[in-house]
Chains A and B, each alone.
Chain A
Amino acid sequence: GAGVSQSPRYKVAKRGQDVALRCDPISGHVSLFWYQQALGQGPEFLTYFQNEAQLDKSGLPSDRFFAERPEGSVSTLKIQRTQQEDSAVYLCASSLRETSTDTQYFGPGTRLTVL
């Protein structure tokens, strides 16, 4: 079956531009997560959705970051007025149930470079 897919795989933005990153989770997965991975580091949690409800956004670094999952499947992470420090790989993961300790399955990530 299909895994988690993300698009675009690579995005170059000029400082100040807005970007939108898309995640298609595994079909039927209730939970969806976004992580930010800086170069040479482990992924850092950004936000969590259970179906369409955003239950935890404690990891979003600023109010320039916004995520949505309006129909409980596809999710979009939007970054407004991008800054150079936003350059990172953005990973999306999904898990089957709402159980917090369920295995998360990751997509290939979107590498964002802000010039």
Chain B
Amino acid sequence: AQKVTQAQTEISVVEKEDVTLDCVYETRDTTYYLFWYKQPPSGELVFLIRRNSFDEQNEISGRYSWNFQKSTSSFNFTITASQVVDSAVYFCALTRYNFNKFYFGSGTKLNVKP
């Protein structure tokens, strides 16, 4: 069975703090893809990153970075120097090769206070 767990329901930080959002996944497949999406209050899911199971290199994009560790089945997301505009619900998702559905976690709500 496929499953994505985001154990942190809600996190509050003060602007400029660093924050890490955890994502743990379960799958027996060897080929799979992981995603992070941001859902601001407007409701639209915004794509952040896509990573396949064979690429364990960490990735940095501006203030965002992702740490993929197959050994612990985790794909964590760090925001450096958080800003108020980062306030949103963040979802981690898993999809299997040759299957068409995404499996989403329950999301982590991030509150960044000025």
Contact = CB atoms under 8 A, between A and B. Distances in A.
Interface stretch (A18-26, A68-76, A79-87, A104-112): A104-112
A78 B96 CA distance: 28
B28 interface: no
Interface residues of A, number: 28
A17 interface: no
Contacts of A40: 106-107
Contacts, number: 66
Given A101-B52, A103-B35, A106-B44, A33 B101 contact: yes
Contacts of B37: 106
13 contacts: A3-B44, A33-B102, A41-B106, A42-B6, A45-B102, A58-B101, A59-B101, A100-B100, A101-B95, A104-B102, A106-B37, A106-B45, A109-B43
- Which 7 pairs from chain A and chain B are nearest by CB? A42-B104, A45-B101, A106-B45, A101-B33, A48-B100, A108-B44, A109-B43
Given A33-B101, A42-B107, 7 more contacts: A42-B91, A42-B104, A59-B101, A101-B50, A104-B47, A104-B102, A108-B44
